[in-house]
Amino acid sequence: MSFISTFQRFNISTPQLLACFFLIISSSLFTQQVSIPEIRKATPVHESAISSPISPVEETGVEPLRSKNAADARFAVAEGFYQRKEYQLACVEFQKFLQLSTPGDLHRDEALFHLAEAYRFLDKSLEAQSTYEQLLKETPSGDVAASAAYRIGEYYHDKKELKKGIKAFEQAAQLSKSATIKNAAHYQQKLCHDELSEQEKATTLFYEASKTTEDQTERLRGLMQLANDDEKCGRSEKALNTYLSISAESPPTVAAEALVKAGVIASQQKNREQALQLFQKAANLKEGDPWNATAALHLMQFDYEAKDYQKVLERSPQALATSNTEECSQALLLAAQAERQLGHFQNALELNDRLLKEFPASGSAHDAAFTRLLLLRSLKDPSLLTQLQDFILTTSDAHQKAQATLLQAEVFFEQENYTPAAKAYATVKDSDLTPTLKADAAYKEAWSLQHLGDATSALGAYTTFLTTYPESPSAPDALIQRAYLEQKQGDLKSALADYDHFLEKYPQALECELVLQQKALAQQAQQDNHGMAATFQQLLSAYPKSTRAAEANYWIGWNLFEEKNYQAAIPFLKKAKLLDAKKFGEKINLRLLLCYYYLEQPELAAREAAELPTNVIPGEVSRWIGLKAYERGDFNQAEQFLNLVMTQNNPNIITREVMIALAETLMKKEKYQAARVPAGKALEQATDPTSRAAALLTLAKIELNLGNDSRAESLTREALLLEPEGRLNVEGRLLIKSILDKSTLKK
């Protein structure tokens, strides 16, 4: 026969049967005391680092069942569900028990408290709070009431009804006989005062807690909160000392936390050495988890700032051991950045991608998304421009969008693809990037437009840049580029104004040498030769070893030549030739030749002429050099330059004088056959008796030396007829005598 049918024989109803059944099953649960669950409340201080979880409610004894009535059975059933964490069923049974009992009955306090706790576990906060309040109303004293008051305080705290929370926690502390409950309630009370900015009350309570000798955990908690308050109120030195005191007498977890917080303060005080020591000490506490990992992260940051990137990587495993996702993501980002700084771009990309995959919602992932683009750039990834465009189109972060656009512009700029570069640079000018980055973008936009050949737009862009960022490091270059464009466009007045402004504002700039050169050339284009020479003189004075010295000397000499100050021009022209003969040699030689010509220094002129192509030497100068050489008896030089005159086919310079001199020169060199040509031409051009007589005598001498004595005599006698007296007559008579003497000797 079944168990149920046996009971039915004794006319026991089904409800009574079930009650008895559960009574039998659960009776063993109440042969011992029933424990009210511990109350846990998170606090701003790292509670797990100070002690085991706060247990404000002590175990409340429940006497063994003394009654077999329905109420007791119902309580036993409810308590069974509660202990098995079947809170929904427990709530139903506790409510039934409460209907069967009245205030003061056995187990009623426990039933109310466990019902409220079951509601709390089911997230039914309103029902839970109402039940705790009912318990306090029915039983306003005792540890169960203290626990209920504590729970009510928590609800008020969560809803930020802090004044009500203070009263509830105060009530819990007054009602409880347990030091644990009292300390936890006082601590929560202090936190409420702190959140109400009632700093004085909060500090007083924390101070009292820090002085307790009964509860070491409470004392450390109070000290930690006092240090937090001092730090928050700007009393950094006091907070630092408190943290150091805590670290010296606390278990590893608490000590590590205190050391890290002390290290942060030392870092804020710019005491790098102390901060490093504190963080290192915290990192070395093997049982200081999780604060030793936090300390390692701070050390990574210090190492990164010190550019000790290898050390950053060495510390990263400890920092990455943290369970704090934000700190772990920060450690990954630092490690990736360190690899990037070391040039290990592929390693950096792998760490960066790991961060994005494992911690996509972290703050570091936000930075890593853009850093990834920088790494792709370093790796010269061909997909960079495509990924940049995708990033720009999808990101909701205006700042990162501007950064990506600037990076896109930089890539185009490096590729000398100036059209999209200029467009991208223009886009970021009104962004929230730093003034330095925006200034750089504005300058490069102007540069891109200039290299696209759009001088008008480039001039406008340079002007906008100089107006907006007059103190930018790129301002001197922009001023030069604008002046250069103005000069190229023919706006010499504006160009010279910019050059003068540059020289005035940046007198020590390296570019002053270039600016002086360009200013001088602009003055020359303006036909201000005197101003040009003065500017080049300024350049030589300021930069005696300038690479532009040859050009400066040339133009100074050129100007002096144009001013007919030939003697002064010569040293500058010579210096220019010495410095850069390849560029200025021919032009300088010609001017030096002319200087010596005008200064009537034929030998020096001949030396310069020897370095010039014959077709460059002016005919008049060749004639002058040749005749002067003939006069001083330098027949080699005379032959060279007089022959040059004869080849120019210029009747204005091929005079009878030149032809006679050339013929005489050739005779001196015993080139009689060649001498016939200029002598014959001289005779052809002679129209007056004297000139014909001179030409005839020259031809006579040539014929005589060629052995044509009769021809020589005939020419001489003709000359004597034309000049019956004078120098030529005497010369002719002497020549006749020579011819006759020669004939006598032959006989």
Q: What is the CATH number of the domain that holds 540?
A: 1.25.40.10
User: Which of 1-15, 111-125, 207-221, 492-506 is predicted least confidently?
Assistant: 1-15
Q: Nearest CA to 74 among 39, 119, 106, 48?
A: 106
- Name the packing angle between helices 602-609 and 635-646 (round to 10°): 60
Quote the pLDDT of residue 526: 92
pTM over 0.85? The answer is no
* CA gyration radius, the chain: 56
Highest mean pLDDT, choosing among 74-78, 154-158, 564-568: 564-568
Quote the pLDDT of residue 149: 87
DSSP calls for 653-670: T--HHHHHHHHHHHHHTT
pLDDT of residue 486 exceeding 50, the answer is yes
How far apart are alpha carbons 148 and 154 in whole angstroms? 10
* pLDDT classification of 23: cutoffs 50, 70, 90: very low
pLDDT tens track for 568-613: 999 999 999 999 988 888 889 999 999 999 999 999 999 999 888 8
Quote the pLDDT of residue 215: 54
Contact 209, 218 (CB under 8 A): yes
The verdict on residue 174 lying in a domain is no
* pLDDT classification of 431: cutoffs 50, 70, 90: very high
* Residue 700: partners with Cβ closer than 8 Å, 6 or more residues away: 711, 712, 713, 715, 716, 719, 735
Give the residue-averaged pLDDT of 359-370: 90
Cis peptide leading into 290, omega within 30 of 0? yes
pLDDT tens track for 580-592: 988 888 889 999 9
Helix (H, G, I), strand (E, B) or coil at 580: coil
How far apart are alpha carbons 448 and 37 in whole angstroms? 74
Helix (H, G, I), strand (E, B) or coil at 177: coil
C-alpha torsion angle, residues 443, 447, 452, 453 (rounded to 10): 110
Q: Nearest CA to 158 among 201, 128, 114, 203?
A: 128
The verdict on residue 104 lying in a domain is no
Quote the pLDDT of residue 154: 87
The verdict on residue 716 lying in a domain is yes
**Share above pLDDT 70 across residues of the chain, in percent, rounded to a whole number:** 86
The verdict on residue 74 lying in a domain is no
How far apart are alpha carbons 570 and 554 in whole angstroms? 10
Q: How much is the mean pLDDT over the chain?
A: 84
**Domain end marker among 546, 580, 599:** 546
Say how far residue 615 (Cα) sits from the centre of its chain.
59
Residue tagged 């807690």 (tokens): 209
* pLDDT classification of 216: cutoffs 50, 70, 90: low
Tell me how crowded residue 23 is: count the other CB atoms within 10 A of its CB. 20
Give the residue-averaged pLDDT of 55-62: 36
Quote the pLDDT of residue 202: 54
How far apart are alpha carbons 520 and 536 in whole angstroms? 6
Q: What is the 3-state secondary structure (H, E, C) of 678-745?
A: HHHHHHHHCCCHHHHHHHHHHHHHHHHHCCCHHHHHHHHHHHHHHCCCCHHHHHHHHHHHHHHHHHHH
Say how far residue 597 (Cα) sits from the centre of its chain.
62
How far apart are alpha carbons 27 and 438 in whole angstroms? 80
pLDDT tens track for 223-253: 777 777 777 778 888 888 888 888 887 888 8
Quote the pLDDT of residue 90: 93
* Residue 618: partners with Cβ closer than 8 Å, 6 or more residues away: 594
The verdict on residue 514 lying in a domain is yes
Total domains in the chain come to 2
The verdict on residue 307 lying in a domain is no
Quote the pLDDT of residue 46: 34
Quote the pLDDT of residue 201: 61
Quote the pLDDT of residue 4: 37
pLDDT of residue 6 exceeding 50, the answer is no
Quote the pLDDT of residue 206: 52
The verdict on residue 483 lying in a domain is yes
H helical segments located in 527-601? 529-542, 549-562, 566-579, 581-598
**Share above pLDDT 90 across residues of the chain, in percent, rounded to a whole number:** 50
Give the residue-averaged pLDDT of 464-493: 95
Quote the pLDDT of residue 626: 93
HSE at residue 425, side-chain half, CA atoms within 13 A, is 25
**Domain end marker among 487, 517, 546:** 546
* pLDDT classification of 219: cutoffs 50, 70, 90: low
pLDDT of residue 62 exceeding 50, the answer is no
The region that residue 234 occupies, defined by phi over 0 for left and psi between -120 and 50 for alpha, beta otherwise, is left
Domain that includes residue 533, residue range: 474-546
* pLDDT classification of 25: cutoffs 50, 70, 90: very low
pLDDT of residue 447 exceeding 90, the answer is yes
How far apart are alpha carbons 483 and 477 in whole angstroms? 10
The verdict on residue 535 lying in a domain is yes
pLDDT of residue 18 exceeding 70, the answer is no
pLDDT of residue 335 exceeding 90, the answer is yes
Quote the pLDDT of residue 745: 65
In one-letter notation, the amino acid at residue 592 is L
Handedness of CA 344, 347, 349, 354 (dihedral sign): negative
In one-letter notation, the amino acid at residue 49 is A
pLDDT tens track for 667-711: 888 898 988 888 888 888 888 888 888 888 889 888 888 888 888
How far apart are alpha carbons 44 and 250 in whole angstroms? 18
How far apart are alpha carbons 273 and 302 in whole angstroms? 10
pLDDT of residue 507 exceeding 70, the answer is yes
pLDDT tens track for 157-185: 888 888 888 888 888 878 877 766 776 77
* pLDDT classification of 386: cutoffs 50, 70, 90: very high
**Domain end marker among 546, 570, 594:** 546
For the record, the structure tokens of 643 come out as 């022959």
For the record, the structure tokens of 431 come out as 């962004």
Q: Nearest CA to 296 among 251, 269, 335?
A: 335
Q: Nearest CA to 709 among 684, 682, 736, 733?
A: 736
Identify which has the larger pLDDT, 456 or 184. Answer: 456
Residue tagged 């036993």 (tokens): 76
How far apart are alpha carbons 84 and 45 in whole angstroms? 33
Quote the pLDDT of residue 212: 52
